[in-house]
Amino acid sequence: MPKVAYSEAERQRIREELVAAALDLMVRQGIRHTTVEQVYRAAGISRTFFYTFFPTKEDLVVEAFYRQQPKVLDFARHCLEDCPWREGVANFLRACCAGPGGGLAVMTVEEQQALFRRLSPEPRRVFREKQAELFNGLLRCFGVRPSRERAALFTNLSLSVMVLRRAVPDALPFLVPEAADAAMAIQIRTIVDLLDAMRQEDALPPS
């Protein structure tokens, strides 16, 4: 006979399992191919019970991205270990461009558009705040003093190279697939140059 009542602690445990399962699936196969059914089956609950935790798939996806943020920061720190600073930052950005199976969940252009359309204004606002916190944290990891302007620029440059690399050739078929990796390398080198310039600027004594 199915259980009809759960304690608050049990519900919290199940919620954590759902988010963890969703993030694991998103990392391995991408957001588009991660289904609600896969997630609730991984947690051992029913579809109906799943929707008492998350009204939509988008709510779950957002929660999974929030769960991933500390892991992204840990990964950035790991990339800086045992290698020169420029190489470590470049390795981090390349890993973010890798797509499913690369160790991190990163949204494609289509996934960003779909998520934006389906979130109401308040969740969108919170998502942007969390995103800003993440990129400020990444700047700190890379030894760059964070600011609103720097985080905004770093966000746009980083997400641009990530989504562009993953968009070729499916979402952007007129771009040349054979040059995609070379273009990505140039874009990453530009981002690294910018961050390095910020680091040097921060190290200068006040005039």
pLDDT tens-digit profile of 92-117? Answer: 999 999 878 888 999 998 999 999 99
pLDDT at 205: 80
Q: 102 and 30 in contact (C-beta within 8 Å)? A: no
Does 2 score more than 70 pLDDT?
no
Instruction: Enumerate the domain spans of the chain.
Output: 57-203
Q: What CATH class does 57-203 carry? A: mainly alpha
Query: Residue written as tokens 């609103």?
Result: 148
Helix/strand/coil percent split, the chain, to 5: 70, 0, 30
* Overall average pLDDT of the 115-141 stretch: 95
Give Cα separations from 41 to 9, 22, 107, 167, 201 (angstroms).
Answer: 20, 11, 23, 30, 51
pLDDT at 1: 40
Q: 142 and 192 in contact (C-beta within 8 Å)? A: no
- Beta-carbon count within 10 A of 108 CB: 18
Q: 103 and 135 in contact (C-beta within 8 Å)? A: no
